[in-house]
Structures are given as C-alpha cells and as structure tokens.
Chain A
Amino acid sequence: MIEMKHIAKTFDGKAVLRDFSLTVAEGVTCLMAPSGRGKTTLLRILLGLETPDAGEIIGKPERVAVLFQEDRLMETLTVGLNLRLALGRAYDPEKAEQCLAALGLPGSLRLTVSTLSGGMKRRVALARALLYPAPLLVLDEPFQGLDEDTRRLAIQAVKQSARGRAALVVTHDLEDVALLGGRLVNLQEG
C-alpha cells in the first residue's frame, strides 16, 4: 500500500496541490481529474520526478511501472526492442507477444514504432508498463486515442495486470472507471 500524505506543491506562487492525500492499495484505484487540477504534478511527485513542498509518501516501492501521458517510445526502434530496452532481463518475447495480442496487436514485435498509428503506439507503451515487473503500476490516461474495441481490450489487460499489485489509473471517463472497477478518487475533492 502506498500513501501520499498532505502533499502540497506550488509553481511560481500558484498552488497546484494543496494538502492532498491519497492511498493506493492493491487492485485498481482510478483518479478522476479535470485538466489543470494538478494531476500531472501529483503523478510526477509519486514517481519521484518532482519534489513536494510539503507532505510525504509512505511505502513507495523502488520500481514503478509507468505509462506517461505521452507514449515515450523510441520511434526508430522496433516494438520488441522498445520493450526489451525497458524490461531488461525481465523481457520474454513470448510474454510480450501474448500481452501485445491481448491488446489487439498480435505479431507486432518486429514492427518499427514510427510505422504504427497513434492508437497502436499507445498500446505498445501500455504493454511496456503492464509487462514491467513492479509492485506499483501508474497509468496516465492509458486509453486515450483508442477506439471502442481496443479500449475494451486495454481495460481487460489493465484489470488482469493489476491483480496482485497496486495500480493507479488516471482517466477522464466514468465509463472507464466502471469497467475497471476498483476505487474512485476525485482530485477536485482533494
């Protein structure tokens, strides 16, 4: 279980987060956040990429599997190499193929990322996070740019991957929350 307690962050005199607390337990926790409510800052603090002005994080694991709002893939490399690069020794081509197939991308390991569509890239980035062996999974708008069918496949894959570990999923869509199940936290409410 990861606890973020009384987190505050100010940028240029503007308070982005004020006394925000959040607990991420095993299973899926959905974070609903309208734009400009400090969602990105909160995730960056959780990931250790930003230091909070106040507050603390308890129980944050060393390894975190993350899907950023941007895909952050190496465009000139193949899908397989992108996965291998992030997963290191944990990379298993068979598991990778299974995960990609579950996301509607069978046989795509040898494809170069630059040749993929936006939705396909999103799913590759999602597969990278899902395959990464870490006790905490942080997914920032994982289903953006996906059509209805692939979105449902992706939701199933996330649900499956969240078994036995904590997953924090940021989304704008209540239907995603309903399909994912789990707990809902609204950032607006603090």
Chain B
Amino acid sequence: MKNKAFTKENLWRVAAVLFWLLVWQAAAALLRQPLLLSSPLRVLQRLFALLGQSATYRALGYSLSRIALGFLTGFALGALLAVLAARWRPVEYLIRPLMLTVKSVPVASFIILALVFLTSRKLNSFISFLMVLPIVYGNLLEGLKSKSLQLDEMARMYRVPRLRRLVYIELPQLKPYLLSAVSLALGMSWKSGIAAEVIGIPMGSVGERLYQAKVYLDTSELYAWTLAILLISMLFEKGLVALLKGAYARLERL
C-alpha cells in the first residue's frame, strides 16, 4: 500500500515537472524569440554540447572546489561557534549581532564590499563561507539548546563517558538540525558563490561563463549553465544528506 502511494506521489511530481516543461516549450514556440526565451529542448541540446567540452569540467571543478572550501569552513566555524554559544550565554549575545547582520545584508552588498579587499579568485569561497556560517550556527544552536536535559541526567547518573555521550546521546538529538543545516547551507553556498563569480568574474569559473553568455545574449548557454549549476547543487545536497544519514544509520547499528 505504502509503495503504491509512493509511486503515485512520484508520478504526480513527474507529471507536474513535465507540465511546466510543456508550458515553457509552448511559450518559446509562441514567442519565437530564442534570444529572449530559449526552448527547453534547445537548452538540453546546449547542455549536452557543454558536457562534451573539457573547459566545462574545468570551470565546474574550479567553482566547485572553491565553493566547497567556503562551505566547509563556514560549516566548521558555524558549528564551533554554536557549541561555544550553547555552552556560554555571553558568547551567544556577542555573536548574535554579527549573525543578524550577515543574515540581513543583501548578498550583493557583501560581494561588492568584499571585492574591495579580496581578489576575485577568493571571492566565491569567502561569500559562500559567509552565507553558510549563520545558517549552520543558527540551526545547530537551536538543536543544542533543545537537547534533552533528562537524557543528560541519565548519562550523568550512569556515568556515560564524554565521547559516548557525544556520539550516542548528543549527535542523534542533533540529527534533524544538522540535516536541515546541510540542506539549506548547501543550496545557499552554491547560489551565493556563483553570484560572487558573476560579479567578480574570476577567469575559468562558472560565473565567468554565465557572464559571457549574458554579454553575448546567448540565452541557451545561460540556461544550460543554470541547469548544470542546479543539477550539481542538487546532487551535492542529496549526496551529502545521504552520506550523513548513512553515517547516522551506521552509528545507530553499532
């Protein structure tokens, strides 16, 4: 029954995507202005053409490595600050205005500000780091604050060693917050990282290719690159979330 319902739900999802693709195709056919609106078929053709070029992979590798670096450093610092803030209240008060500022200021302002003191090659990492930091910090701090005091007392009474407490009591409680942080932060790091590249235009980046496509009014290429970014971002998000879930599942079976 459950499988049947699952398949039916999947069918609806696929049908909805197909419907909007048809709307897009129909709009492109009616408009007959590929410079303004490229058809999905043309975009797919362009994407496959791009996938046949080694320069595409170089651009993707360049952007991916730098955005991933920003994501990882943002994640690590966000997690560390969340632990410190959960442990010491003054740290939370001290960090709050900083996180609120990063969350409220438009990403474009940060990109332009950062360009004053950073080279364009370092910009995407920095912006990705900056966008990931408050998401991870906020989610993990919430998770740490809502952890069960009752389980803490249980661990204290049974003298559960620190490391075991962390692995078996604290990390499982953080699971939903951690997964949500990864999911949100990954999407954000890609969007902001590419936006930084489009403004900073570092050579050989995906952002540069997007910028060139815009300058030459090559909408098919613009859409194809957008689609490629979307797919890679999705793959990364799903991959990392699956990895984390797998790690948790292994932990729970130990």
Contacts and interface: CB of A to CB of B under 8 A. Distances in A.
A49 B172 CA distance: 24
B154 A68 contact: yes
B48 interface: no
Given A72-B151, A74-B172, A76-B172, A86 B254 contact: no
Given A49-B153, A72-B151, A76-B252, A88 B160 contact: yes
Contacts of B247: none
Interface string A72-88: 10101110010001111
B113 interface: no
A132 interface: yes
Given A81-B252, A81-B254, A85-B164, A74 B157 contact: no
Nearest to A44: B153
Contacts of B253: 78
A92 interface: no
Interface in A50-82: 63-64, 66, 68, 70, 72, 74, 76-78, 81
Contact of B252 (A64, A68, A78, A128): A78
B150 A70 contact: yes
B154 A77 contact: no
Question: Dominant SS at the B interface?
Answer: helix
A47 interface: yes
Nearest to B150: A72
B117 interface: no
A68 B153 CA distance: 10
Q: Number of contact residues on A: which range applies? A: 20 to 34
B172 A63 contact: no
B250 to A, nearest CB: 12
Given A68-B150, A74-B151, A76-B252, A63 B168 contact: no
Given A68-B154, A81-B254, A74 B168 contact: yes
B55 to A, nearest CB: 46
Given A74-B151, A76-B252, A64 B169 contact: no
B186 to A, nearest CB: 24
Contacts of A63: 159
A66 B164 CA distance: 19
Contact of A85 (B156, B160, B175, B248): B160
A176 B188 CA distance: 59
Interface string B140-160: 000000000011011011111
Interface in B16-35: none
Which of B158, B159, B175, B252 has the most chain A CB within a 10 Å cutoff? Answer: B158
Contacts of A47: 157
A88 B155 CA distance: 11
Interface string A103-139: 0000000001000000000000000100010000000
Interface of A: 47, 49, 63-64, 66, 68, 70, 72, 74, 76-78, 81, 85-88, 112, 128, 132
11 contacts: A49-B153, A68-B150, A68-B154, A72-B150, A72-B153, A72-B154, A74-B172, A81-B168, A81-B252, A85-B160, A86-B158
Given A78-B252, A85-B160, 10 more contacts: A47-B157, A66-B154, A68-B150, A68-B153, A76-B248, A77-B168, A77-B252, A88-B158, A88-B160, A112-B252
